[in-house]
Amino acid sequence: MFGCFSVQPLCNPWGTSGQHSVMPGTAESAVRRVESTVPGPTRIVGRSPFKEKNDVSYADQNLIPGEQVLYQTGLHWIVFAPPVFFAAIFGLIGLLLMLLMQGTGGVGFFFLVFAGLFILAGYLTRKATEIAVTNKRIVIKTGILNRRTLELLLSKVESIGVEEGLLGRMLGYGSVVVRGTGGTPEPFHDVTNPLEFRRQVQQQIELREKSSPSA
């Protein structure tokens, strides 16, 4: 009743090498050709850690045709040190007035408000400073109420100076001095990874020099 039988393996549609075979001239091959011509996404190097996901930086908003942002940085967290120090003093005084001394709760509350304003000022100062390197320019924006911008073509960059103290070398921050051709030095202090910023600028200048036709 029960005869012997054997199970034959099904034909592997992917071939022995694990790759799907596509017949030329079919719709699938046409789709493959279209997909192969679609360029991949642009790789952004060193995207600023100070930007939230939905934020658009000043450099991204002011790109010229054919330009793309390659590197972004900003102010180091060390800029929070003075605001936090003063906020701690005002906050401690405010708590002491509110908890230990009768009739001074209102004054203590104002001290706490001032402590919060110090923290807010430090946050806004750091967030308002944007430093970017594109394939064509250096773009730097500072200031909250009074905006200051520096947009310098890479071909006009004469030098990028970096100044780092002992603490700056340990924590990774320093001052950057940008000098354009025939211009005055533009210093920017407490920049995160200033050596990397200079390296990115020099790398883009070198690439432009190699791609430009020799005289």
Taking 80 as the threshold, does the pLDDT of residue 14 lie above it? no
What pLDDT is attached to residue 108?
85
What pLDDT is attached to residue 213?
65
What pLDDT is attached to residue 28?
47
Among the residue ranges 29-33, 80-84, 98-102, 184-188, the one predicted with the least confidence is 29-33
Q: Which two tokens stand for residue 205?
A: 């200048």
Residue 105 pLDDT level (bands cut at 50, 70, 90): confident
Question: For the segment 149-180, what is each residue's pLDDT rounded down to a tens digit?
Answer: 999 999 999 999 999 999 999 999 999 999 99
Taking 80 as the threshold, does the pLDDT of residue 8 lie above it? no
Answer for the pair 128, 145: CB distance below 8 angstroms, yes or no. no
The residues with which 161 forms a beta bridge, in sequence order, are: 177
Q: Which two tokens stand for residue 169?
A: 């070398």
What pLDDT is attached to residue 214?
57
What pLDDT is attached to residue 101?
76
Question: For the segment 114-139, what is each residue's pLDDT rounded down to a tens digit?
Answer: 999 999 999 999 999 999 999 999 99
SS (H, E, C) the chain: CCCCCCCCCCCCCCCCCCCCCCCCCCHHHHHHHHHHHCCCCCCCCCCCCCCCCCCCCHHHHCCCCCCCEEEEECECHHHHHHHHHHHHHHHHHHHHHHHHCCCCHHHHHHHHHHHHHHHHHHHHHHHHCEEEEECCEEEEEECCCCCEEEEEEHHHEEEEEEECCHHHHHHCEEEEEEEECCCCCEEEEEEECHHHHHHHHHHHHHHHHHHCCCC
∠ CA(78), CA(82), CA(87), 5° rounding? 125
Q: What are the φ and ψ backbone dihedral angles of 39, each rounded to 5 degrees?
A: -70, 150
Q: Kindly report the average pLDDT of the chain as a whole number.
A: 79
Answer for the pair 33, 26: CB distance below 8 angstroms, yes or no. no
